[in-house]
Structure 1
Amino acid sequence: MKNFKEKADLIWRVADLLRGDYKQSDYGKVILPMTVLRRLDCVLEPTKQKVLDYYPKVKALKEGAKDLALNKIAGLNFHNRSQFNFDKLIADPNNIAVNLRNYINGFSTSAREIIEYFNFDDHIDRMDDPKADILFRVVKEFQEIDLTPDRNNMEQDSLEMGYLFEDLIRRFSEQSNETAGEHFTPREVIRLMVNVLFIEDKDILTQDGIVKTLYDPACGTGGMLSVGEQYVKELNPKAELKVFGQEINPESYAICKSDMLIKGQNPSNIKFGNTFTIDGLEEENFDYMLSNPPFGVDWKKAQKIIKAEHENKGMSGRFGAGLPRINDGSLLFLQHMISKMKPGGSRIGIVFNGSPLFTGAAESGESNIRKWIIENDWLEAVIGLPDQLFYNTGISTYIWIVTNKKSAERKGKVQLINATGAKDEELYKDGKLDFNRFWQKMDRSLGNKRKKIAENGNEKGIGFITQLYGNFEENEFVKIYPNEFFGYWRVTIEQPLKVKTEHAQSPQIATDRSGNPKPDSSLRDYENIPFLKKDAEGNLVPQTISAYFETEVLPHLPEAWVDENKTKIGYEINFTKYFYEFKPLRPLAEIKADILALEEKVLDTEKRVLQ
């Protein structure tokens, strides 16, 4: 398929036929399944007659055996044995509803189940009702849209088809004020994630006959799986990457499965449902995992099941390390993916907003999850991305790379890459636009997406970020810290309670029965003491609570003490702080000169207006 944007525009225009009979928010319930049907129809067209000719020979077989035999004739994982296709459907306008159902029922089981997830049968009746009478016109419009695949480059064609679906979903989501970003991820972000995920394993992936697995627990329309598969095929045409996923949105699930079906992947590897409550691939482990779970999604509906697994299974379950706040399940997804790592080594790439980096005090659910990941030496890298990259949010995002097979040079360390790029006001140098940045401004905004990571032609695009990761060297964009750098003690600083007594001229320290001073809760304070500090030469060295207390607290509060029973351990990644560069304020004389110049300009303008 070529010119996916042009095709998307054609399909979008078909929605005009639904105006009046459907609310705008419901257009997708017709257009998306019709797009899938038309795509399947175009894919099957070259072998359709062969299937029909062979069908009488296997008609008496059981359904499973029949499907296998006819799939083989079709040369795909599916077929259609109905006498109808889109051309024949429009040849009989008076029986369009019954013939369309006959056509859908003629698909093999795997393809037919995909259509069922759209609940499209109800819409056949609705469009065929005399009050609407639009079913034939909708089918006719789709029959005129050519979605024939480019058989010389099926991988790229599948990507183009993915773009088409994503564009349609985005448009329908905007019409209904839904969140388009819940369904898919910008492709340039996926390409960056795939590059970084696979770069460490290039030697393995180029071996003859290598077979690996890729999993996405929130796979949407399958974009990450498709880009991952394309990357491996380009690297090694003889390699096989088997893809797996799970998706909670029925329409996205159906689109993803249809894509897998057309590409020859096993569609049964894509499961439907809430990953938290029903793990559709419970016994499976994977070599690679990619995901962009919904940002800040609450897990209230799954709370009972998740808490039960946490309490009853502990570390033998998926959520033993801790439970985050109820209004953000991001770190639940990551724990789930870590549970899918192979003992021999797996690699994970996941997109988060900033919250999982630092939200949660010491020994909170989030902090304990970070502690578990970092102390196990699984966090390999965090890549900060530009803001305004995603369709449903303008906030900054971060890619986490997690693995249980770090290379020798990466062991015990975490790499931070600042690829956020310049802000809009910093783009101009000496009056000229500076392209020395990590993003490009889009010609036209798509929802909240106003920027994209440069894919080529820009020294700080996807290739540059991948190189920063691969080089593993500190520079203006890269910081490398030992795991301990992110840990701290949360200590409670107490001061004595002082009370007035009738025999003493000044307040006295109140004591308990053992003679120990009682703390004054109104003077209680807290300190976060990092595990590491910088010495005189700027090197990171271990520090102790007692040493910190003696140098940083006692000189100011000589009667204070640390309540050791209340000390907690926390972990956080304050990404922005590590890359902060102090910019001195402009000299007052320079600011004054600018103000005077502006005043003079205003006065001059007023004179010309009043003349």
Structure 2
Amino acid sequence: MVNILFYNDSNLLTEEVAKTIYDPACGTGGMLSVAEDYLKKMNKSAQLIGFGQEINDQTYAICKADMLIKGENADQIKNGNTLSDDKFKDDKFDYILSNPPFGREWKNDRKAVQSEAKLGFAGRFGAGLPAVGDGQMLFLQTAISKMKTQGSRVAIIHNGSPLFTGDAGSGPSEIRRYILENDLLEAIVALPNDIFYNTGIATYIWVLSNKKPSYRKGKVQLINANKLFVKRRKSLGNKRNDIPKESIDAITKLYGEFKESEISKIFDNEDFGYAKITVERPKKDENGEIELKKGKPVADSKLRDTENVPLKEDIQEYFEREVLPFVPDAWIDEKKTKIGYEIPFTRYFYKYIPPKPSKDIMAEIMEIEKDLDGVLEEIFND
């Protein structure tokens, strides 16, 4: 994450500069420390000033103590609930780096979050609110709200949920829509499973920027790095795999080169968008006649259906090609059309593996039969 975060900022590695970095769920401060150590190795004269907020008292104390031991300003590490009590309300940062909790409910923060959402983009949650059962996208919006107008970069880890959860018009879809229509998303990197000690689920790095280089404008890069790992000799909870240095270098290179390969694909922002159209069909009476109201067909709610039309396609052309040949009396209720966005990451890297021929499967079964000393013979000869 740190390699990618600093990748395009070569001036940081050569000039005597001071930059700020923020983690809205800083824990013991590991990410802030790694970022600072990385920068110091590259440029001893550069200064990276860390800011963080942490809800857990113990991990907050460790983070603060670590800052004090290193002789840094620990006043910028705050204790409190980021979602309901933002300690850096008016601050903006050059870099935002975070691994917020997955699947954490925010029902206890609902009042404060909804109150801030009513402020629109004067607050942090103007794009929309996710389901109350998972606050990841609240942290994502918090990170975005801390970006400087002159340019900032974000690297934040999520599970798969923020990629696709929520239908068109829902809070999660609207958040993705805001990010993509404002060209904030640079890349998403799929990480190997089992690299965190407390979870084995799939995780992804979202890389965002409001200062994209020209060749990335209007584009999103997806990097499937879930096979770039080595097995640990000894598991640590759910952490069974590590990402070795050579794999980190390979991921960083893939990001930097911005080229397509077997595990790197590049899309237009619009590729993730779709129009959800409502297809109506007429209600008919007992005699099979279409019911009319003010000269127009009455829609039968029991026959109502929806279609997702890619943004790059013309809705009417899609409708005439995909719907009318099968239901020629259908029409689109344009008032109900909604725009949605989703990022079906795994679909883009799916590879079809044909099943084994039945004769090969039978041969394998018969080999097992031999090992079982005839136990299966009666089944196959019945």
TM-score by length of structure 2 reads 0.96
1:242 aligns with 2:39: no
Instruction: Tell me which residue corresponds to 1:389.
Output: 195
Query: How many residues align structurally?
Result: 376
Asked if the contact 2:27–2:59 (Cα under 8 Å) also holds between the matched residues in 1, the reply is yes
**Compared CA separation, residues 207 and 519, structure 1 to 2 (3 A):** same
Instruction: Tell me which residue corresponds to 1:335.
Output: 141
Asked if the contact 2:272–2:342 (Cα under 8 Å) also holds between the matched residues in 1, the reply is yes
Match among 181, 206, 213 for residue 13 of structure 2: 206
Q: Structure 1 runs of 4+ off > 3 angstroms?
A: none
For 1:510, the aligned partner's letter is E
Instruction: Tell me which residue corresponds to 2:266.
Output: 480
Instruction: Tell me which residue corresponds to 2:96.
Output: 289
> Cα offset for 1:455?
2.5
- Cα distance between partner residues in 2 of 1:225 and 1:315: 27
Residues 76-130 of structure 1, C-alpha deviation per residue, up to 9 Å, x if partnerless?
xxxxxxxxxxxxxxxxxxxxxxxxxxxxxxxxxxxxxxxxxxxxxxxxxxxxxxx
| Structure 1 gap segments, 5+ residues each | 1-192, 422-437, 502-506, 532-541, 607-611
Residues 393-424 of structure 1, C-alpha deviation per residue, up to 9 Å, x if partnerless?
11100000011011111000000000111xxx
Instruction: Tell me which residue corresponds to 1:601.
Output: 371
1:588 aligns with 2:358: yes
> Cα offset for 1:362?
0.4
- Cα distance between partner residues in 2 of 1:352 and 1:603: 51
Instruction: Tell me which residue corresponds to 1:444.
Output: 234
Greater fraction of residues in strand: 2
For 1:465, the aligned partner's letter is I
Asked if the contact 2:369–2:375 (Cα under 8 Å) also holds between the matched residues in 1, the reply is no
Q: Tell me the secondary structure at the aligned position of residue 389 of structure 1.
A: coil
1:363 aligns with 2:144: no
Higher relative contact order (CA 8 A, sep 6+): 2
> Cα offset for 1:568?
0.4
> Cα offset for 1:289?
0.7
Instruction: Tell me which residue corresponds to 2:298.
Output: 518
Match among 107, 113, 122 for residue 306 of structure 1: 113
- Cα distance between partner residues in 2 of 1:204 and 1:528: 45
- Cα distance between partner residues in 2 of 1:552 and 1:283: 50
- Cα distance between partner residues in 1 of 2:197 and 2:292: 61
- Cα distance between partner residues in 2 of 1:604 and 1:492: 59
Instruction: Tell me which residue corresponds to 1:453.
Output: 243
Alignment identity in percent? Answer: 55
Instruction: Tell me which residue corresponds to 2:380.
Output: none
Q: Tell me the secondary structure at the aligned position of residue 169 of structure 2.
A: coil
- Cα distance between partner residues in 2 of 1:207 and 1:393: 38
For 1:490, the aligned partner's letter is K
TM-score by length of structure 1 reads 0.60
Q: Spell out the pairing of 1:420-569 with structure 2 (5 A cutoff).
A: 420-421=226-227, 438-456=228-246, 461-501=247-287, 507-512=288-293, 514-531=294-311, 542-569=312-339
Residues 533-582 of structure 1, C-alpha deviation per residue, up to 9 Å, x if partnerless?
xxxxxxxxx31111110001111111111111111000000001111111
Residues 495-527 of structure 1, C-alpha deviation per residue, up to 9 Å, x if partnerless?
1111114xxxxx111111x21111111111111
| Structure 2 gap segments, 5+ residues each | 377-382
Instruction: Tell me which residue corresponds to 1:20.
Output: none
Match among 546, 568, 571 for residue 341 of structure 2: 571
Instruction: Tell me which residue corresponds to 2:5.
Output: 197
> Cα offset for 1:199?
1.0
- Cα distance between partner residues in 2 of 1:208 and 1:551: 58
> Cα offset for 1:351?
0.4
Asked if the contact 2:24–2:143 (Cα under 8 Å) also holds between the matched residues in 1, the reply is yes
- Cα distance between partner residues in 2 of 1:545 and 1:265: 57
- Cα distance between partner residues in 1 of 2:201 and 2:332: 39
For 1:528, the aligned partner's letter is N
For 2:232, the aligned partner's letter is M
Higher CA-based Rg: 1
Residues 60-85 of structure 1, C-alpha deviation per residue, up to 9 Å, x if partnerless?
xxxxxxxxxxxxxxxxxxxxxxxxxx
Root mean square deviation, CA, Å: 1.4
